[in-house]
Amino acid sequence: MPQNTTIAERRAALLHAGAQVSRRVISILDPEELLQQVVDIICDEFGFYYAGVFLLDETREWAILRTGRGAAGAQMVAAGHKLKVGGLSMIGVATGQRRALIALDVGEEPVHFKNPYLPLTRSEMALPLCVGDQVIGALTVQSTEEAAFTEDDITALQAMADQLAIAIHNARLYAQNRHLLAQAERRARLLAAAAQVGRDVTSILDWHALINETVDIICDAYGFYYAGVFLLDELGEWAVLRAGRGEAGARMLMAGHKLKVGGISMIGTAISQRRALIALDVGEEPVHFKNPYLPLTRSEMALPLLVGDRVIGALTVQSVEEAAFSEEDIASLQAMADQLAIALDNARLLRDLEVAHAELLRTKTFEALATATLEAIHWIGNKALPVSSSVARLRTDLAALASADPERVASMQEDLTMIEESVRLILAVQEHLIGPAREQQPRPTLVEDVVKDTVARLGLPAGLVQYTVAENTPLAIADSTQLGRACGYILQNAVEALVGAPRQEIRVEIAPTNEGRFVDIRIMDTGPGIPEAELDKLWAAFHSTKGATHAGLGLSACVQILRQIDGQITARNVPGGGALFEMLIPAFSGELPMTTLPHGRSILLVDDDDAWSRWAAATLSGAGNQVARVTEAVEPAAYDLILVDDALETADSTALVKQLTAAGAGGKLIVVASYLRVERTTALLQRGVRDVVLKPYTPAALAGLL
């Protein structure tokens, strides 16, 4: 500022420069840009050596240098230069006392902070930046000339400073408004997406379709990289992935991905704490499960799926952007998750209702069949017998005529084959209806023995079936014949499923479950599994996945058999292939009555070394009898009683019975079986055995036998 002008000219020049500054800064709306430019504008317009803008911090205790002219300014900003409000510095006084100060000979001025970044300063003016009554900071302008400012200059420069304060305030308001607008827009977009998801998911009533389409709907509506839906397992211990976006989701589903509730994963935490969690830099977030299937995830939000007070699972949404989610997003995304949870729960209820309805229909269908069974069996047996007998006779006759007209005879043979197949199916229906039609006689039953007898009865190859039996498995309450029939259907299914399978194995696991209230029989095969679409239809009467050569009543019969003893049967596929049929049989929970067994007898057990023979030998020996166990015919004279297990794995019970009766032991020979068949029973009785009875599984039943 030239010194040789009149006061009026100087004031006019200052006002002009101040007006110029005001005009230029007022048009800059971005606060950062304004601060960047303002010091240069001031210095350029007024010809100052330096200008700097201090703004008060949140505590209003410090004036922080936000921008300064040139390299000195940049260095001081970088160094975090700040001055105490109300302190001794000119800025401190200007901000503390809301007044402008001038230091004309800075080297002598006691209030001036000797600033090593600005060694040439000889004059300085500090001007408070005020908006209304509030100080927001201060402006320092400095000159290399001594006595560069006069008291008269203050008015003009303060006017400029006031304009600058308003410009800074306006820019801040503008930025704040822009932020609020952006927030409002984001919120509106999230709510619109939530509404879209809500509309889409509530319009899907089929549970399977809903769960599978949900992740795509969410990703499409929000633009997420990945979304996955976890639902709690039956015990509420694991969150099991039920749907996941894209290839990653498909692979995780294949792998049976699940997370422990209450574990360190975000999903596990969201469920256990019933609150949404955000991981903004997932690589560093300790609660994040580092998922190799989703390497690009940089932000994740886990939202609990809540229906009222009940948590049914959790939703994960993931973004490739860091810090993609904020706390403010939780409300709108949780609203979406709440709608999803309700839609899933409603669809599940609808599905349960449909399953119950279908179950009712299936049950009623089979019950209707079973109710009519006694008459039906009589009718079927009577009508079918002549057909098969007639076919057999016709075959013999045709064989004699074959040379007369070979082609016609071949055609007639084909027709007979078709008739035979139809009759076979009709008779198979009869067989399936026979069991459940009977009134069951549940009793304490050793499930392991029934299953192993069934395997022996079916004549399955040695080693095909592998057993795992828990030592603490209790007796079950079941009709062993009917349970054997049900096990037979399931095992036969498993055997048929293994045809052509690269690995052929059937695993049987028997263990207590539901706190010992049930005995769990799990029969798994290594076949191709059950097609998903067939899983719900398996139990329907006359439905077969094996084509027209099967009657499709075996599994219906199983349902009926299990239902009659308050048990249940389910089927599902196991990860890695193969089908799993699971039967729950009520466990025997009462006290076995005190029983006094006969003693002092010599008893021969003809049986494999299995659970039943070990129990029977121990029980009989414990009562004071001499017990021997063999799987071969021995001289029977030495024994008072011979018990032969009809289902032997390591020997032929028929041959053994023949040898023993031939040796004159028929009168003391009792054949025991978990599954009684009429032809077998009559044949054995005809052979001269004393009796053929159901195998005893309790001391009382054993005493009754003796």
Partner 1 sequence: MVKDAIKILLVDDEPLVLRSMEKTLLRAGFDVETAGSARAGRFRFEEARTDQAPFDLAILDLHMPNLNDQDDPNAGLQLLSVLLAVEPTLPVIVLSAFDEVSRAKEAVARGARAYFVKGREAGLVEIVNEIFNP
The beta strand positions in 462-578, using DSSP E, are 465-469, 476-478, 506-513, 518-525, 568-573
Site for partner 1 (CB under 8 A): how many residues?
A: 31
Taking the C-alpha atoms of residue 47 and residue 146, their distance in angstroms, rounded to an integer, is 14
Using CB under 8 A as the binding rule, the residues of this chain from 133 to 162 that contact partner 1 are: none
Q: How far is the CB of 694 from partner 1 (least distance, A)?
A: 9
**Does residue number 438 form part of the binding site for partner 1 (CB under 8 A)?**
yes
Taking the C-alpha atoms of residue 311 and residue 308, their distance in angstroms, rounded to an integer, is 8
Taking the C-alpha atoms of residue 192 and residue 27, their distance in angstroms, rounded to an integer, is 35
The alpha helices in 284-405, defined as continuous H runs, are: 327-371, 373-401
Site track for partner 1 across 235-254, x = CB under 8 A: --------------------
**Does residue number 396 form part of the binding site for partner 1 (CB under 8 A)?**
yes
Site track for partner 1 across 398-427, x = CB under 8 A: -----------------------------x
Name residue 152's amino acid: D
> Computed from CA positions of residues 282, 284, 290, 292, in that sequence, does the dihedral angle turn out positive or negative?
positive
**Does residue number 434 form part of the binding site for partner 1 (CB under 8 A)?**
yes
The alpha helices in 203-305, defined as continuous H runs, are: 207-222, 246-254, 266-273
> Which residue in 371, 389, 602, 621 binds partner 1 (CB under 8 A)?
389
Q: How far is the CB of 382 from partner 1 (least distance, A)?
A: 5
Choice between 67 and 482, CB closer to partner 1: 482
**Does residue number 165 form part of the binding site for partner 1 (CB under 8 A)?**
no
Element (H, E) at 664: none
> Which residue in 409, 681, 703, 706 binds partner 1 (CB under 8 A)?
681
> Which residue in 86, 107, 283, 381 binds partner 1 (CB under 8 A)?
381
Q: Which stretch binds partner 1 (CB under 8 A): 156-164, 381-389, 496-504, 583-591?
A: 381-389
**Does residue number 682 form part of the binding site for partner 1 (CB under 8 A)?**
yes
Site track for partner 1 across 687-706, x = CB under 8 A: -----x--------------
**Does residue number 384 form part of the binding site for partner 1 (CB under 8 A)?**
yes
> Which residue in 16, 383, 517, 572 binds partner 1 (CB under 8 A)?
383
Choice between 157 and 692, CB closer to partner 1: 692
> Which residue in 371, 390, 549, 621 binds partner 1 (CB under 8 A)?
390
Using CB under 8 A as the binding rule, the residues of this chain from 660 to 679 that contact partner 1 are: 676-679
Between strands 299-307 and 310-319, the pairing is antiparallel
Between strands 641-645 and 602-606, the pairing is parallel
Taking the C-alpha atoms of residue 64 and residue 80, their distance in angstroms, rounded to an integer, is 7
Phi and psi, residue 232, nearest 5°: -70, 145
**Does residue number 439 form part of the binding site for partner 1 (CB under 8 A)?**
no
Q: Which stretch binds partner 1 (CB under 8 A): 75-83, 192-200, 270-278, 379-387?
A: 379-387
**Does residue number 388 form part of the binding site for partner 1 (CB under 8 A)?**
yes
Are 608 and 539 within 8 A, CB to CB?
Answer: no
SS (H, E, C) 591-617: CCCCCCCCCCCEEEEECCCCHHHHHHH
> Which residue in 89, 140, 143, 430 binds partner 1 (CB under 8 A)?
430
**Does residue number 535 form part of the binding site for partner 1 (CB under 8 A)?**
no
Choice between 388 and 504, CB closer to partner 1: 388
Among residues 204, 199, 242, the alpha carbon closest in space to that of 221 is found at 199
Q: How far is the CB of 458 from partner 1 (least distance, A)?
A: 16
Element (H, E) at 475: none
Q: How far is the CB of 370 from partner 1 (least distance, A)?
A: 14
Q: How far is the CB of 543 from partner 1 (least distance, A)?
A: 23
Between strands 691-694 and 669-673, the pairing is parallel
**Does residue number 657 form part of the binding site for partner 1 (CB under 8 A)?**
no
Choice between 522 and 677, CB closer to partner 1: 677
Are 63 and 91 within 8 A, CB to CB?
Answer: yes
Taking the C-alpha atoms of residue 86 and residue 106, their distance in angstroms, rounded to an integer, is 19
Instruction: Give CA torsion, residues 511, 514, 515, 519, to 10 deg.
Output: -30
Q: Which stretch binds partner 1 (CB under 8 A): 91-99, 162-170, 376-384, 495-503?
A: 376-384
Are 329 and 193 within 8 A, CB to CB?
Answer: no
**Does residue number 23 form part of the binding site for partner 1 (CB under 8 A)?**
no
Taking the C-alpha atoms of residue 413 and residue 394, their distance in angstroms, rounded to an integer, is 9
Q: How far is the CB of 639 from partner 1 (least distance, A)?
A: 24
Residues in contact with partner 1 by CB under 8 A are: 374, 377-386, 388-390, 392-393, 396, 427, 430, 434, 438, 676-679, 681-683, 685-686, 692
